[in-house]
């Protein structure tokens, strides 16, 4: 074979490959997805409505786009770990992998943790113990060779674990993405959203709508989702996006259909198109209008709500799918029109209760001694608290288990029943003299009741058992601040901030200590930085007696 000819072929082949779009050059290792909808959390007042329907809808759409999608529901930590292990096992070099989680999320130590339904969280350490770190999940997917990694998180809800321990921050934390990763969260870091009464979340509805638009890269999809959610919520909810993708990635194959009859005809002076003419790179591929309408109708039909069909008809007033949407609306109306004869008993029942309860209900509260319970000590209400009762029953069944005393001590401290909390922390330390967290919490609780010198000994013991324990350094800084030793407090806060520069409590405490030392500029700078991380930190320190 002629060597020059062979070299020419190689050169031509390499030139042709270079002209391919970036998405076409991605190694095809398949597309896989894991979707987790966690709804039934025992600590919550009621199950979450949206996670499971959202996971199912999103999985259906991903499957239409060629993903091998697994849907899982109400997973314990063990279940989440097994599901993730299955996902990791499917990854091979070049695989595109997507993880969706809807449920509760918590940030701790500036990291985001996805919370299983069986989590028992009372301290920051238990967040790390019971939660699944999304940073860890993405790092493992990357290590397994996934080419594109996508995380979709709808976990920025106000959850039942908040305010159980000091330093708790609302919402999720910013996530550091490895190369080739796209992350979208339903809300900005540090913010929470309240779940609506709709079957599906606004975030997932907008995401699915954009996924059905053909010829969009995944980055275009999430950017348009962010805009849609922000507009629909009037700016109350703005999704957060982080991307380190280095190539265009399409969830579905880009389409380039032939011209349709309803497309505008070519102008007479335009030359007739040739089939072998390559499309110009600056011209976007034409959209398949019928496919768009079909996808939007399918979306409305899966939601099955009046609003979904009405939104579809507002956009598409004529056509086959419009007629189908009207039929669906008519069927929704049927149950409402049949029982119309029922209003007859309503006027009979309504007037009777209206006059009677009002005069009875108004005078009754007036003679009731309602103001009396307010000045009473809070212990009777604490004793009747369902959580305290549950923990007391647990302790009664296992009186030698320090965990029950520890959790009840935290619960008492949150309710400012410090003397009761101290008794429980005493029991924990009696049963486990090497529990650094118990010593730290007893140190902090003693600081709240003014027993500062003994509190200092507890903090020292906690740090002896666990050197560089950030929470204990922060607690000892508070004790030194209350004692009147600002230099010692600054040293403790400095040590804590070297480990975690975003520790709001340590920043605020150091700011107060600097002000006591006359460093006005440094003190105010620390206070401002702390408030930027936790806007409620000043109120927290005021409750400690530091104003």
**Residue 400 counted as domain residue:** no
1/540: higher pLDDT: 540
DSSP secondary structure letter of residue 169: B
Cβ neighbours around 456 below 10 Å, total: 21
CB 458 within 8 A of CB 442: yes
Mean pLDDT of 374-403: 72
Q: Which residue has the tokens 């959209």?
A: 287
Cβ(437)–Cβ(452) below 8 Å = no
CATH code (residue 50): 3.40.50.1460
| Cα–Cα distance for residue pair 178/150, rounded to 1 Å | 11
Identify whether 211 is part of a domain: yes
Q: Do 309 and 227 fall within a single domain?
A: no
239 and 293 co-located in one domain: no
From the list 51, 196, 109, 106, the residue with the least C-alpha distance to 502 is 109
Q: Average pLDDT of the chain?
A: 79
Examine residue 293 and state whether it is found in any structural domain, yes or no.
yes
Q: What is the mean pLDDT of residues 192-217?
A: 90
Does residue 263 belong to any structural domain of this protein? no
- Is the distance from CB of 35 to CB of 60 less than 8 angstroms? no
Contact indicator for 203, 154 with CB cutoff of 8 Å: yes
- Token pair 């507009």: residue: 231
pLDDT of amino acid 42: 83
Pair (38, 107) in one structural domain: yes
Are the CB atoms for 507 and 499 separated by under 8 Å? no
Lowest mean pLDDT among 23-37, 76-90, 236-250, 438-452: 23-37
- pLDDT tens digits for 333-379? 654 444 444 444 444 444 444 444 444 444 444 444 444 444 444 44
Tokens of 68: 């091998």
The CATH number assigned to the domain holding 538 equals 1.25.40.10
Same-domain pairing of 202 and 328: no
CB 423 within 8 A of CB 446: no
Rounded to whole angstroms, the Cα distance separating 333 from 329 reads 6
Residue 94 has what DSSP assignment?
T
Pair 202, 82 in one domain: yes
Domain presence at residue 8: no
pLDDT band at 17 (very low <50, low <70, confident <90, very high): very low
Per-residue pLDDT, 303 = 64
Which of 205, 223, 243 lies at the terminal end of a domain, its last residue? 243
Question: Which range, of 168-172, 227-231, 284-288, averages the lowest pLDDT?
Answer: 284-288
pLDDT of the residue at 349: 44
- Higher per-residue confidence, 412 vs 291: 412
Is residue 54 situated within a structural domain?
A: yes
The answer to whether residue 422 sits within a structural domain is no
Same domain, 237 and 293: no
Distances from the Cα of 384 to the Cα of 185, 359, 388, 418, 494, angstroms? 39, 32, 7, 17, 42
- Mean pLDDT on 468-489: 92
CA gyration radius, the chain: 30
User: What pLDDT, on a 0 to 100 scale, did the predictor assign at position 218?
Assistant: 94
Is 364 domain-assigned? no
For the ranges 33-47, 213-227, 276-290, the lowest mean pLDDT is seen at 276-290
302 band by pLDDT with thresholds 50, 70 and 90? low
Domain boundary among 188, 222, 243: 243
- Provide the pLDDT for residue 422: 95
Dihedral angle, C-alpha 248, 253, 258, 262, nearest 10 °:
-90
Residue 240 has pLDDT above 50, yes or no: yes
Q: What mean pLDDT do residues 404-430 have?
A: 88
What span, in angstroms and rounded, lies between the C-alpha atoms of 544 and 490? 17
* Number of other residues whose CB lies within 10 A of the CB of residue 343: 8
**Edge-to-edge strand ranges of the sheet holding 181-185:** 68-73, 31-37, 96-102, 148-154, 181-185, 240-243
Per the model's pLDDT, the better-predicted residue between 25 and 127 turns out to be: 127
pTM, two decimals, is 0.49
Q: Which helix (H) or strand (E) holds 319?
A: none
pLDDT of residue 367: 45
* Three-class secondary structure of residue 52 per DSSP: helix
**Confidence bin at 431 (pLDDT 50/70/90):** very high
> 389: closest CA among 56, 397, 143, 374?
397
The more confidently predicted of residues 189 and 319 is 189
Range of the domain at 305: 289-337
My answer on whether 77 and 169 are in the same domain is yes
Could you read off the pLDDT of 30-42 as tens digits, one per residue? Answer: 999 999 999 999 8
What is the residue whose two structure tokens read 């070297």?
498
Q: What is the pLDDT of residues 129-146, one digit of tens each?
A: 889 999 889 989 998 999
> Which residue in this structure is represented by tokens 């006359």?
518
Same domain, 147 and 234: yes
Do 162 and 440 touch, CB atoms closer than 8 A? no
Best mean pLDDT range from 438-452, 500-514, 526-540: 438-452
Residue 113 pairs in a beta bridge with: 106, 133
Q: Which of 221, 243, 265 is the last residue of a domain?
A: 243
Looking at the fold, whether 122 and 223 belong to one and the same domain comes out as: yes
The number of folded domains in the chain is: 3
Least confident of 155-164, 235-244, 392-401, 485-494: 155-164
Based on the domain organization, do 238 and 309 belong to the same domain?
A: no
For residue 71, the cross-strand partners are: 35
Which comes out higher in pLDDT, residue 361 or 500?
A: 500
Name every residue whose Cβ is closer than 8 Å to that of residue 213 and which is 6 or more positions away in sequence.
221, 224, 292, 295
Residue 175 sits in the same domain as residue 304: no
SS3 242: strand
The pLDDT score that the predictor gives to residue 385 is 75
DSSP-based three-state secondary structure for 96: strand
Say what the pLDDT of residue 456 is. 95
Considering the domain architecture, whether residues 177 and 320 belong to the same structural domain is answered as no
pLDDT > 90: percent of the chain: 42
What distances in angstroms separate CA 4 from CA 1, 9, 13, 14, 15, one per listed residue? Answer: 9, 9, 14, 15, 17
- Indicate whether 9 pLDDT > 60: no
> CA-based angle 398:403:404, to the nearest 5?
55
Give the residue, 298 or 85, on which the prediction is more confident. 85
Query: What integer is the mean pLDDT of 210-230?
Result: 92
**Residue bearing tokens 């609302």:** 170
């Amino acid at each position: 074979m002629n060597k020059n000819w062979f070299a020419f072929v190689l050169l031509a082949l390499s030139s042709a490959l270079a002209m391919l779009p970036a998405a076409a050059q991605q190694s095809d290792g398949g597309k896989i997805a894991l979707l987790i909808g966690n709804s039934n959390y025992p600590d919550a007042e009621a199950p979450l409505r949206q996670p499971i329907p959202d996971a199912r809808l999103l999985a259906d759409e991903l499957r239409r786009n060629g993903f091998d999608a697994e849907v899982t529901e109400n997973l314990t930590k063990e279940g989440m770990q097994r599901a993730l292990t299955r996902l990791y096992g499917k990854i091979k070099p070049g695989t595109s992998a997507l993880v969706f989680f809807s449920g509760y999320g918590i940030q701790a130590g500036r990291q985001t943790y996805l919370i299983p339904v069986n989590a028992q969280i009372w301290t920051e350490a238990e967040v790390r113990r019971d939660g699944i770190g999304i940073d860890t999940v993405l790092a493992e997917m990357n290590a397994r060779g996934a080419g594109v990694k996508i995380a979709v998180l709808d976990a920025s809800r106000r959850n039942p674990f908040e305010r159980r321990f000091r330093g708790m921050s609302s919402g999720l934390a910013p996530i550091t993405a490895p190369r080739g990763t796209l992350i979208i969260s339903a809300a900005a870091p540090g913010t929470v959203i309240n779940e609506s009464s709709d079957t599906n979340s606004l975030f997932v509805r907008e995401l699915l709508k954009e996924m059905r638009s053909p010829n969009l890269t995944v980055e275009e999809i999430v950017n348009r989702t962010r805009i849609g959610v922000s507009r629909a919520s009037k700016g109350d909810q703005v999704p957060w996006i982080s991307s380190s993708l280095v190539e265009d990635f399409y969830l579905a194959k880009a389409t380039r259909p032939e011209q349709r009859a309803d497309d505008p005809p070519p102008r007479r002076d335009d030359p007739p198109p040739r089939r072998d003419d390559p499309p110009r790179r600056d011209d976007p591929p034409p959209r398949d209008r019928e496919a768009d309408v079909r996808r939007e109708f399918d979306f409305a039909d899966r939601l099955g709500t009046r609003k979904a069909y009405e939104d579809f008809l507002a956009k598409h007033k004529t056509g086959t799918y419009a007629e189908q949407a009207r039929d669906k609306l008519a069927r929704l109306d049927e149950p409402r029109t049949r029982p119309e004869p029922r209003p007859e008993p309503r006027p009979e029942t309504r007037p009777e209760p209206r006059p009677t309860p009002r005069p009875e209900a108004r005078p009754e509260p007036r003679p009731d001694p309602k103001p009396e319970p307010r000045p009473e000590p809070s212990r009777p209400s604490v004793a009747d608290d369902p959580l305290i009762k549950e923990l007391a029953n647990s302790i009664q069944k296992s009186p030698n288990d320090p965990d029950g005393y520890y959790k009840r001590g935290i619960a008492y401290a949150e309710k400012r029943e410090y003397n009761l909390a101290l008794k429980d922390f005493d029991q924990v330390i009696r049963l486990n003299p090497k529990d650094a967290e118990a010593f730290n919490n007893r140190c902090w609780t003693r600081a709240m009741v003014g027993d500062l010198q003994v509190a200092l000994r507890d903090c020292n013991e906690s740090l002896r058992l666990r050197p560089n324990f950030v929470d204990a350094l922060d607690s000892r800084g508070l004790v030194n601040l209350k004692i009147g030793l600002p230099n010692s407090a600054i040293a403790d806060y400095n040590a804590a901030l070297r480990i975690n520069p975003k520790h709001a409590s340590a920043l605020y405490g150091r700011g107060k200590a600097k002000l006591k030392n006359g460093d006005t500029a440094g003190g105010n700078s620390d206070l401002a930085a702390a408030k930027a991380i936790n806007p409620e930190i000043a109120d927290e320190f005021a409750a400690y007696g530091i104003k």
